Chain A
């Protein structure tokens, strides 16, 4: 909200400068985000009169003017055409620095010297565009600073009002706030009215059917109105505050909206049937044309203003076309009401129609101020136009303003804030706020709150008033009493992710952060490649764009997109990972979320391979990375099994990882068709880990076993198997075949003519570790034979002989 400093000064004759007002209000919780001097760039720009206007001898388009500021005459070359001798204009003298950044210097233009410039409104940033130079009213005194002549020796405060402080959405409200800080007094304008017209009761009657939604409805009437433009000063203030001037009647209502925070509506009384007013919500849906020309769909429950024939306004939101004040209007009814905030908000939201009026009603308009606003409207209109005010006013639901009584205990304030406020200090603050206090019993007061402070209902609200108006800077800094913190499951999870980040960082991975929402259209289009289940999708009702409609079912599209983008930026080796949630529907809570860690890998195995040439990553790099990470995180034992349940991975190059019977992740080569979609050339490998499942069982604490006392024996064997036999199963079998076999690792796998079609040779190294004696040749031979027999029986393995 914008407030001119001069307007504020009319309500509180503050000793504070505009900058001090900004600082004080901000530090009391009414943030003034900017305080701008309106005359910025108008130094050395003065009012002047054109004495003569002649043709420039050397340029058809230029004229030569002689102007005077009343004391000195100037020769000015001017490119505009719209002025003539006798006009009062804005003269930028040499040395002026205009708001548009132009510096005025003494110049020679086509051989004629120019001692300044005649300014257009555009050059002065008073308008977006202008046809020629600015012509000021003929009666403007000469030689005056332009800022003064235009009323721009003023400051514009931009005030940010939080939703709880609807009472500050006006000049009066901000003035009251300033008074509560400085202790200065707010002065409300007098509202003299010459009630020479007919009694208002003879002109209109008012009923309120929905009293709950409209607790108060005040009105005044003026007759013999001549609708015309409002005076310059009023138009200027409205424009400064962002409201377009329309005519004197409408401008008065908008002026009071800004000044008192009371939204008002002006009806053309002659266009009201009856003439009578009722306030109620319709019981059936209906249509209504608002004065912006739109046909609105009105639902039952939306509060309307009616005349004898039909609806004439959407209460508190916008008036109707049918009762709008026009140039031919002569009799006006000023409506000044209090509507229920929630009702107005519901209506405005459902109509998609937020107005200055509904904005204020939603936040609470002072029910005690309606009549004063109506009086001020008539009084103000009388000042700027010839009118005949009707005698008296109508005020349904009127009466003495209701004050709320709220209990306050100074000791309680100290307990919450952590500093002592003396009862005298508290009393003084409440006095500045115009909150009278009354002692109920020692240490407990009744504080009486005016009707405009909707936000003060409870003791804590009063404590906040005391704290903020005493200044937060006065609150000491202490430290909360220390307690041993709990170590939660989420603490452990944070540790797990930290470990994962360290591991991946050491392995050359950069971390991505992608949006949790993805393009539903894309997931649907690539549904069969991504394994998308539309029935299990969690969708955003009001997405910000086409790319954010679906809560991601998995992390793959984000990382593929990152890989594609980086490939396009000439980055050859892609190593990226992301930790984030995947979403889906579930029975219990309606949806599930699961923390995942995904990684994507392509390019070279090592960044700089200068000997032996670069080696590209393959399936076993992603496998090693995923398994290494899982072991690092304490998961295990891990059982990778071939899978065809991950359609985004190549068939035959994809595995699920099982641990304790649960699938805790998957990895493999990304499907070629998917890479083509993202225009990524090379093979790309991908893995995704279900973090919670993977780390559900923390690795148990290690229990010491005595170290072996006898030397181990290493035995290699080369065995030929049918090509389909999984080496993992072979190794597992070897490990289980004798208690002495502590370790069995594969050191070589190859196929070829020498081995035979459909066969592969696997080299296995066994470590035999006896626990109670040194192994003899006979022992070793017997174990070896046992292993060979098992491999032959179980997998058709046959020992290779040189």
Chain B
């Protein structure tokens, strides 16, 4: 070991060389190499510090502090260079690997629910939230359920309200149900009040033009209990319309006739197209008929053996296509059954 001055020179030289080596490093391994040679655990400066024991206390102080200073400086430059080189490498790497994020991902494009099915599901969901349970029934129906038990006697002109398809059968008079109302009878035959059901389904009438289809869909509702009133019916349907068409759409209840309800009502909503001012869709009346309803006729209770003095109830029914047409601005009912994907993918 030489003098302390010689050691200082050596440290200064190592510092200079170390800085030069760090500056010359082009990548992480060059840097690590330089660190190893000059100021790592086994680097030249560390070696000097290891040999410091042979020096006087004075010299030890001087050399120790010089070496530590040099090592700290190199260490700091190293960290700086390392960060900078890593950043350069990252930029270089990612530059090569850059992806076009606008290219399509690998997955299916979601399909579309049929507007009739969607509208029906929405109606069902509203009434289920209002405490109604779903009931189904057959499309090929007995005359008894479709007409007779709903208080359409044979040879009654009320039967003309619905152009009926008949089914060839050896098992009595079968029809394609003209409405979902037979489900009322089937349900009441099966259970005692309280009854609170909705019955969705396909129905059939012998009629075809831009607003009539030989097959279409209805949702029927029925509630029977002690003390059910027409005011309850009004309240429920008002709530339904608010949930379906949004708030602030006035409703109008107008007397009408259905054989299986009395008193009966037709429910109109203020025209969703013109807002009541009058247009082609509402035939200038400002109102759109959206459902039929009424209090269950005592004659119907007679068919299912409910006592009309004890129980009362209401029923209502609506055409799903009609509501879907109003919601989506569809003017020709036939579009629903063409299943043109360009049509379906609009909803």
Answer yes or no: are A and B bound together in one complex. yes
Binding site for B on A (CB under 8 A): 26-29, 31, 33-34, 162-166, 341-342, 345-346, 362-363, 415-419, 458, 460-461, 463-464, 467-468, 472-473, 475-488, 490-491, 493-494, 498, 501, 504-517, 538-544, 548, 551, 562, 565-566, 569, 571, 574-576, 579-581, 583, 589-591, 593, 606-608, 610
Query: In the bound complex, do residue A478 and residue B225 qualify as a contact, i.e. CB atoms below 8 Å apart?
Result: no
Q: How far is the CB of B257 from chain A (nearest CB, A)?
A: 4
Interface size on B, as a range, is: 35 or more
A501 CB contact (under 8 Å) in B116, B117, B266, B342: B117
Which secondary structure dominates where chain A touches chain B? mixed
- Would you call B257 and A501 a contact (CB within 8 A)? no
A485 to B134, CA, bound (A): 10
Provide the residues of chain B in CB contact with A484, threshold 8 Å: 131
Cβ A162 vs Cβ B256 within 8 A: yes
* A485 and B230 contacting across the interface, CB-CB below 8 Å: no
- A363 proximity list for chain B (CB < 8 A): 157
Q: Is the CB of A538 within 8 A of B167?
A: yes
Give the CA-CA distance A583 to B235 in the complex, in Å: 39
Known contacts: A472-B253, A505-B111, A516-B215. The answer to whether A464 contacts B196 by CB under 8 A is no
- How far apart are B57's CB and chain A's nearest CB, in angstroms? 61
Residues of A within 8 A of B80 (CB): none
Question: How far does the alpha carbon of A598 sit from the alpha carbon of B33 in the complex, in Å?
Answer: 69
Centre residue among A29, A472, A476, A579 by max chain B CB count within 10 A? A472
Q: Name the 6 nearest CB pairs between A and B, nearest first.
A: A418-B229, A418-B231, A29-B255, A590-B171, A162-B257, A508-B108
Give B195's nearest chain A residue, CB to CB. Answer: A486
Please state if A498 and B214 are interface contacts (CB–CB under 8 Å). no
Number of CB contacts from chain A to chain B under 8 A: 268
Q: DSSP majority for the B interface?
A: mixed
Known: A163-B257, A501-B113. A417 touches B230 (CB 8 A): yes
Q: Which residue of A lies closest to B103 (CB)?
A: A610
List residues of B (99-120) whose CB comes within 8 Å of A's CBs.
103-104, 106-114, 116-117
Supply 21 A–B pairs (Cβ within 8 Å), ascending by A.
A29-B255, A31-B266, A162-B256, A163-B161, A164-B158, A341-B155, A415-B227, A476-B234, A501-B117, A505-B111, A513-B117, A515-B215, A515-B337, A516-B202, A538-B167, A541-B165, A541-B168, A542-B166, A551-B176, A607-B108, A610-B103
Whether A590 lies near B174 (C-beta < 8 A) is: yes
Cα distance, A166 to B109, chains bound together (Å): 57
Collect the chain A residues with CB atoms within 8 Å of residue B259's CB.
164
Contacting B167 at CB < 8 Å: which of A29, A416, A539?
A539
With contact pairs A476-B231, A541-B165 given, residues A581 and B139 touching in the complex (Cβ less than 8 Å): yes
Q: Is B121 among interface residues, defined by CB-CB distance under 8 A?
A: yes
Instruction: Name the contact of A464 in the complex, choosing from B170, B214, B239, B262 (C-beta under 8 A).
Output: B262
In the bound complex, CA of A166 to CA of B157 (Å): 10
Is A490 a contact partner of B136 (Cβ separation < 8 A)? yes
Chain A CB within 10 Å, residue with most, of B103, B128, B197, B255: B255
Inter-chain contact B256/A565, CB cutoff 8 Å: no
Q: Give the docked Cα–Cα distance between A133 and B309 (Å).
A: 69
Q: Which of B110, B339, B345 contacts A513 (CB 8 A)?
A: B339
Residues of A within 8 A of B112 (CB): 505, 510-511
Q: How far is the CB of B156 from chain A (nearest CB, A)?
A: 7
Interface check B236, CB cutoff 8 A: yes
* Complex: chain A residue closest to B207, CB-CB: A544
Tell me whether B254 is interfacial, beta carbon within 8 Å. yes
Which listed residue (A476, A506, A590, A610) contacts B169, Cβ 8 A?
A590
Q: Which listed residue, B160, B197, B227, touches A481 by the CB 8 Å rule?
A: B227
Per-position 1/0 for B85-103, Cβ under 8 A of A:
0000000000000000001
Q: How far is the CA of A514 from the CA of B340 in the complex (A)?
A: 11
Q: Cβ of B111: which chain A residues have Cβ within 8 Å of it? A: 504-505, 507-511, 575
Flag if B336 contacts A513 (CB, 8 Å).
yes
B residues 125-177 near A (Cβ < 8 Å) are 128, 131-136, 138-140, 154-158, 160-161, 165-172, 174, 176
**Shortest CB distance A523–B (Å):** 15
With the chains together, A463 CA to B341 CA distance in Å?
A: 51
Which among A415, A477, A494 is the interface contact of B235 at CB below 8 angstroms?
A: A477
Cβ–Cβ contact A491 & B128, under 8 A: yes
Query: How many Å lie between the Cα of A223 and that of B104 in the bound state?
Result: 93
Asked if A540 and B176 sit within 8 Å, CB to CB, the answer is: yes
Q: Does B8 contact A (CB under 8 A)?
A: no
Contact partners of A583 in chain B: CB under 8 A: 139-140
Contact: A480 with B298, CB < 8 Å?
A: no
With known contacts A29-B255, A479-B235, A501-B117, A510–B263 Cβ distance under 8 A? no
List chain A residues, Cβ under 8 A from B208. Answer: 544
Instruction: Select which of B225, B232, B265 is within 8 A of A479 by beta carbon.
Output: B232
Give the CA-CA distance A583 to B140 in the complex, in Å. Answer: 9
- Beyond A490-B133, A513-B337, 8 additional pairs, beta carbon < 8 A: A417-B231, A419-B229, A467-B230, A491-B134, A512-B344, A514-B339, A516-B204, A579-B117
